[in-house]
Amino acid sequence: MVDSPQTGGLWPSLYEPFRNFGSRLAEWVSPASDASTDEAGYRITMELPGVSEDDIELTVDEGVVTVTGEKRVEREDKGDTWYFSERQFGSFRRSFRLPGDADADKASADLKDGVLVVTVPRRTEPERQARKVQVKKG
């Protein structure tokens, strides 16, 4: 028996499987993604089969890459009786925080064969050179 506000008092943990349902659902419907880095920069790869580039919006704001889009239903219903449908359709949104040395202004994205690759190069700072500063008499 569990005494918690989620279960409404002393009830068996009947509601336990549903406690984190919202976050689990979000993980299930979000596109599978990978994030990696190399010497040149950062790469985010997302599986988006069946999504066209016109249905994807990519923004970079204050160091956060956000990908939103929609996979549209392309089903002809000719009076068929459906036993099940496992294909996912609908809107999605994923956000990724970039490291401080990412040059967000130079981000690019390519969609090929249902895979979106977002590339963000590292910021290259010019080599610092020491300079002499003249001290003036006050």
Q: What is the pLDDT of residues 84-136, one digit of tens each?
A: 777 777 889 999 999 999 999 999 999 999 999 999 999 987 666 788 888 98
CATH number at residue 112: 2.60.40.790
CB 94 within 8 A of CB 47: no
Number of folded domains that form the chain:
1
Q: Do the domain assignments include residue 66?
A: yes
Q: Do the domain assignments include residue 127?
A: no
Q: Do the domain assignments include residue 100?
A: yes
Q: Do the domain assignments include residue 109?
A: yes
Q: Summarize the confidence of residues 66-78 as an average pLDDT.
A: 80
Strand 9-11, strand 2-4: pairing = antiparallel
Q: Do the domain assignments include residue 20?
A: no
Q: What pTM was computed for the model?
A: 0.66
Q: Do the domain assignments include residue 3?
A: no
Give, as one character, the DSSP assignment of residue 71.
E
The neighbouring-strand residues paired with 82 are none
